Amino acid sequence: MKRLLKYMKGYTLQAILAPLFKMLEATFELLVPIVVAKMIDVGIQGADRDYLVKMSLLLALLGAVGFGFSVTAQYFSARAAVGFAAKLRHQLFKKIHCLSFSDIDGVGTATLVTRITADVNTVQNGVNLALRLFLRSPFIVFGAAVMAFTVDSRSTSVFLLTILVLAIIVYAIMFISIPVYKKVQAGLDRLTAVTRESLGGARVVRAFGREAEAKEKFDSTNGMLNRFQRLAGTVSALTNPLTFVVLNGAIVWLIYSGAVRVEAGLLSVGAVVALYNYMSQILVELVKLANLIVTLTKGVASGGRIADILDHEDEKTGSDTSDAEVAVEFDNVSLSYKGTDEKSISNITFRLPLGGTLGIIGGTGSGKTTLVNLVGNYYPAREGEVRVLGLNVASWDSEMLRDKVAYVPQKAVLFCGTIRENLKWGSESATDEELCEALKTAMAYDFVMAKEGGLDAYVNEGGKNFSGGQRQRLTIARALVKKAPVLILDDSASALDMATESSLRANLKALSWSPAVITVSQRTSSVMHCDKIIVLEEGAAVGIGTHRELMECCEVYKEIYRSQFGEEDVK
């Protein structure tokens, strides 16, 4: 939690005022038993109505002022906690977007979602309660003991012994609870992952009639989480009964010993009532303190999980230098994903000049997408060197590198909003003329203008109000708005017909800024016109050359061509 306290900056005043006003409220609360004792000993026993009226008005005043202080403290604590959580959530979201794909794969999407939602909320609740009760409750507990001493010094030992026993109980429960709550949060991660997987693959589950298996998997994960939560709840539930047993035992002793001493004339009735009220205050505050500790325990566990994400190293930064001759260069590059020694990409070497075109083809799982992910440094190369515009991608500032590389992924992703807003992800400063130019190049202009509102037509979540081919063309247009020197099309024309794809290739070739274009596809028709083609098989380049050269010397390429065209004519 200490590592997260820096995000309280800007809310220091509220963090000071909240406990201060709570302390002031507690001070007034500690005066109430004394006033009540005086009302009994002086007003009631002396039948002094005027005194009783004055003391009643004083009690009302103490209550009103204390209430005002309490509301003020609640306001400051809530404002500090919510502001702290907002800054923390913003920083966490920003950090997640700076993580490499390797880090995201290692941590897990479900875990990241849980940490930015449930964990941040838990930390927020912990901060809110801490500001309100962390000083107030101990202050009242020890303040009540001191005030009891002023009423009757012989009863102080009962108060001190009670406080000591309760402190031991609370500490023991906290010691047991912390590891249990960590397991609860880990279980919540697993449940989120299973739920996300089931929802994302709902169509597949139904298509294969696997609803029972999916339900069984969910029930198993949910049952494990339930067991951890019940264990945590059982441990926490011991707090109140143990606390009440100890404190009520102390109250019984106070009343008994007080009655004996009142009978002997050694203590007044008002003093006994005051002692009882102080013990009751201790009871209430220790119960609050116990609940606070449970909440803080959860907050500490969640804070540690958040700090683990924030402590991940950012992607490397460097300077913006470039070579005008070569857009992308691979020098004996290999890659293996985290957790495995098996290479997904092995010893790839090629050079792609600016304005050139490169096709990458191969069977499913041959490493095509992995290869192009290295260009944007989404995954770092394990061996060799990847250079963009003459500079090693590991030395680029990540933001500068992404400005140089426009990437259209396999899955066409659109966001809620308008078409204009989606296209401006490529460049926020793009004009409507530039957006329309990009749409025309991507063969998307006609259907966009046919929509009601044109560029301002609404896009549903994931672009579900567009067909697959329309989504692909919109994502290509978004990348073109960027006007980056390197354009990667990762099987992003798979839903287009041959005629549309041919027109798209011609439009890309005519672009004014002449980007280097890397086209990933399983169709030879998509790559056969490229200046150079790389044929991948199990992560290795089994052929590099033009379409004609590969048809002469690469069996893998010829087999792919024959499977699609049924002949070996070189076109």
Q: What are 361-371's pLDDT values in tens digits?
A: 998 888 898 99
- Pick the last residue of a domain from 310, 334, 363: 310
In a domain, 32, yes or no: yes
241 contacts 287 by C-beta, under 8 angstroms:
no
- Cα 550 to Cα 49, 199, 541, 557, 567: the distances in Å are 110, 43, 12, 6, 14
389 contacts 323 by C-beta, under 8 angstroms:
yes
**Residue 269: what are its φ and ψ, rounded to 5°?**
-65, -40
Predicted confidence (pLDDT) per residue in 237-273, tens digit: 787 788 778 877 887 887 887 788 777 777 788 888 8
Cβ count near 367 (within 10 Å): 23
254 and 208 fall within a common domain = yes
498 and 557 fall within a common domain = yes
More confident residue, 408 or 265: 408
CATH number, position 524: 3.40.50.300
What is the rounded distance in angstroms from the CA atom of residue 539 to the CA atom of residue 465?
Answer: 37
347 and 215 fall within a common domain = no
Residue 262: exposed, middle, or buried by beta-carbon count in 10 A (0-12, 13-18, 19+)?
Answer: middle
394 and 538 fall within a common domain = yes
- Pick the last residue of a domain from 261, 284, 310: 310
Region 428-435: mean pLDDT is: 92
Going by C-alpha positions, the residue among 31, 27, 33, 63 that lies closest to residue 276 is 33
Given a cut of 80, whether residue 567 has pLDDT beyond it is: no
Identify the residue whose tokens are 């010893």: 347
Residue type, 402: R
17 and 149 fall within a common domain = yes
Q: What is the DSSP letter of 395?
A: G
In a domain, 458, yes or no: no
In a domain, 344, yes or no: yes
266 and 356 fall within a common domain = no
Rounded to the nearest integer, the mean pLDDT of the chain is 85
Total residues found in the chain within this entry: 571
521 contacts 372 by C-beta, under 8 angstroms:
no
Structural domain boundaries enclosing 495: 326-412+482-565
What is the rounded distance in angstroms from the CA atom of residue 280 to the CA atom of residue 274?
Answer: 10
Region 196-200: mean pLDDT is: 80
Predicted confidence (pLDDT) per residue in 5-36, tens digit: 788 888 889 889 998 998 888 888 888 888 88
Region 86-110: mean pLDDT is: 81
**Residue 363: what are its φ and ψ, rounded to 5°?**
-75, 175
Please report the DSSP string for 299-343 in residue order. Answer: HHHHHHHHHHHHTSPPPP-------SSEEEEEEEEEE--TT--S-
Given a cut of 60, whether residue 316 has pLDDT beyond it is: no
CATH number, position 29: 1.20.1560.10
Predicted confidence (pLDDT) per residue in 134-193, tens digit: 888 888 888 887 887 777 777 777 777 887 887 788 778 777 877 787 788 778 878 888
More confident residue, 279 or 122: 122
185 and 275 fall within a common domain = yes
Buried b (16+ CB within 10 A) or exposed e, 91-117: bbeebbeebbeebbeebeebbbbbbbe
In a domain, 444, yes or no: no
In a domain, 295, yes or no: yes
More confident residue, 394 or 356: 356
More confident residue, 452 or 278: 452
- Which pLDDT score is estimated for 271? 82
150 and 44 fall within a common domain = yes
In a domain, 203, yes or no: yes
338 contacts 352 by C-beta, under 8 angstroms:
no
Out of 142-151, 403-412, 557-566, which region has the weakest mean confidence (pLDDT)?
Answer: 142-151
What is the rounded distance in angstroms from the CA atom of residue 19 to the CA atom of residue 2?
Answer: 19
In a domain, 532, yes or no: yes
Is the alpha carbon torsion for 125, 131, 133, 138 positive or negative? positive
- Pick the last residue of a domain from 270, 285, 310: 310
19 and 152 fall within a common domain = yes
Predicted confidence (pLDDT) per residue in 64-92, tens digit: 998 999 899 989 999 999 999 999 999 88
pLDDT band at 1 (very low <50, low <70, confident <90, very high): low
- Cα 65 to Cα 15, 71, 286: the distances in Å are 21, 10, 23
118 dihedral zone (left: phi>0; alpha: psi -120 to 50; beta): alpha
218 contacts 194 by C-beta, under 8 angstroms:
yes
Given a cut of 90, whether residue 350 has pLDDT beyond it is: yes
Out of 13-22, 25-34, 44-53, 519-528, which region has the weakest mean confidence (pLDDT)?
Answer: 44-53
271 and 345 fall within a common domain = no
pLDDT band at 321 (very low <50, low <70, confident <90, very high): low
Token pair for 457: 């037509």
What is the rounded distance in angstroms from the CA atom of residue 296 to the CA atom of residue 290?
Answer: 10
- Which pLDDT score is estimated for 52? 84
Given a cut of 80, whether residue 117 has pLDDT beyond it is: yes
pLDDT band at 101 (very low <50, low <70, confident <90, very high): confident
What domain count does the chain have? 2
398 and 282 fall within a common domain = no
239 and 122 fall within a common domain = yes
In a domain, 446, yes or no: no
- Which pLDDT score is estimated for 570? 46
More confident residue, 410 or 148: 410
pLDDT band at 322 (very low <50, low <70, confident <90, very high): low
